[in-house]
Amino acid sequence: MKRKSIIFALSLLVASGISVAQVLNKNKKSKETIYKTVPEDIAQNLPQVKSETKKEMEPFRYEGSKVTYFIYKTFEQRKEVELFFFSNNEYRVIFNSKLIDGDDPIKITIYDQPRNIAGRHVLYSETLSKDGSNKTITSTELLETLKSKLPEVDEFGNPIKVALQKVYIDYVIPSKEQQIEEGEKGERVVIRTKGAIVMAMGYNNV
């Protein structure tokens, strides 16, 4: 009889243990995380922003634009865009930062080589703020900067002919404090703040 009681008690104990675990699990699920991305209107605002950069491209012929999207994180991030030039033409590059978030500016640096190449040269450096004006640079200015950083002749005394066929545009996105809110059902809502930089390019049509 005593043995039966022990077995019965143990069975109840096991079953109760499972129940308690499930209840705890339920409570944990009510704390589940939902990700909400803001602002929701970036895509709608893009045409307007792009039109502004296109207008500023004149008298160069508008070629196209590259939209670089990002989500702010709790640490700085770097995004790189590779851009091609033909050496027989002049290009204008315009950066628009109206779709970034907050007061912290984004840093742009243009290099002659990708990030994995040691000793690459900085050709242009600027900061972009949400309310600031567009930033403009031409391929001629970039080439002149590159030439100023290189020797004029090689080890045999021959002039070095420099051509800027592509550049690498690095954006450094500042960190942003994580925003967490409580949802209607008690769930945790993590706010993901999205931003975008528009880079437009045009070339001398003549």
Partner 1 sequence: MNKKFYKIALLASIMIGTVACGGEDKSDEGKSKTQKEVGPNDNDTTALDAEPEDLEEYADNDVQLPTALQVAQMMNKEGLDYTEGLAHDPDKADSYSTQLQKKLVFGVYSADLAYCVLNDKFTEAQSYMTVVRDLGSETGLAKIFDSEDLLKSFEENMSDREGLMDVLVDINWRTEEIFDTDPESKKQSMVHFAGAWIEGMYLGSQIVVENKNYELGTTLVEQMNILSSLIKGLKTIEQEGLDKLIVKLEDILNTYNSFESVKANAASENGTFTLPTLSADEVNKLAQKISDLRESIVNA
The distance from CA 12 to its chain's CA centroid, rounded to whole angstroms, is: 56
> Applying CB under 8 A, does 77 fall inside the site for partner 1?
yes
Element (H, E) at 126: strand 122-128
Binding flags for partner 1, 110-139, as an x/- string (CB under 8 A) = --xx---x-xxx------------------
How many other C-beta atoms lie within 10 A of the C-beta of residue 148? 10
Contact 173, 70 (CB under 8 A): yes
Q: Of residues 2, 41, 103, 151, which one binds partner 1 by CB under 8 A?
A: 151
> Applying CB under 8 A, does 45 fall inside the site for partner 1?
no
How many other C-beta atoms lie within 10 A of the C-beta of residue 52? 16
> Applying CB under 8 A, does 172 fall inside the site for partner 1?
no
Q: How far is the CB of 155 from partner 1 (least distance, A)?
A: 9
Judged by CB under 8 A, the chain residues 4 through 43 that form the site for partner 1 are: 4, 7-8, 11-12, 14-16, 18-19, 21-23, 26, 29-35, 43
Contact 126, 199 (CB under 8 A): no
Q: Of residues 60, 62, 100, 137, which one binds partner 1 by CB under 8 A?
A: 62
Q: From CA 206, how far away is CA 203, in angstroms rounded?
A: 9
Nearer residue to partner 1 within complex by CB, 7 or 133: 7
